[in-house]
């Protein structure tokens, strides 16, 4: 990552809205149950995957490209599950 990377954190109802805003500004985003337990107002999310699918659809509908898992690991300099001992 470069020195110009920006991190935006939003919890609760603001999670998807702020992730969308960050994406439109050229930032990288992540969502998950640790940030919000809901998929929409008053409706609990079933899983992290449901939230990821929601933000992915929004980002792609707005014309942006979503990184593949391998691309995300490379961007973040992560080893990947196949290279750890647990």
**pLDDT digit string (tens) for 11-30?**
888 999 999 999 998 888 88
Put residue 12 in one of left, alpha, beta given phi > 0 → left and psi -120 to 50 → alpha. left
CB-based contacts of 10, cutoff 8 Å, min separation 6 = 17, 18, 19, 35
Instruction: Give the Cα separation of 62 and 56 in Å (integer).
Output: 10
pLDDT of residue 63: 94
Evaluate whether 55 touches 19 at the Cβ level (below 8 Å): yes
Domain range holding 46? 12-83
Does any domain span residue 77?
yes
Does any domain span residue 31?
yes
* Average pLDDT score over the chain: 87
Percent of the chain with pLDDT over 90: 51
Among the ranges given (15-19, 38-42, 62-66, 75-79), the one the predictor scored with the smallest mean pLDDT: 75-79
Does any domain span residue 5?
no
What's the total number of domains in the chain? 1
**Is the overall model pTM greater than 0.75, yes or no?**
yes
Q: Is the pLDDT of residue 4 over 80?
A: no
pLDDT of residue 48: 93
Does any domain span residue 63?
yes
């Amino acid at each position: 990552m470069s020195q110009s990377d920006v991190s935006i954190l939003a919890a609760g109802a603001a999670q998807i809205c702020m992730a969308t805003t960050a994406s439109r500004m050229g930032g990288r985003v992540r969502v998950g149950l640790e940030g919000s337990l809901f998929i929409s107002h008053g409706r609990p999310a079933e899983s992290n995957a449901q939230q990821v699918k929601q933000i992915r659809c929004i980002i792609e509908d707005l014309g942006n490209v979503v990184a593949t898992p391998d691309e995300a690991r490379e961007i973040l300099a992560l080893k990947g599950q196949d290279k750890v001992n647990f």
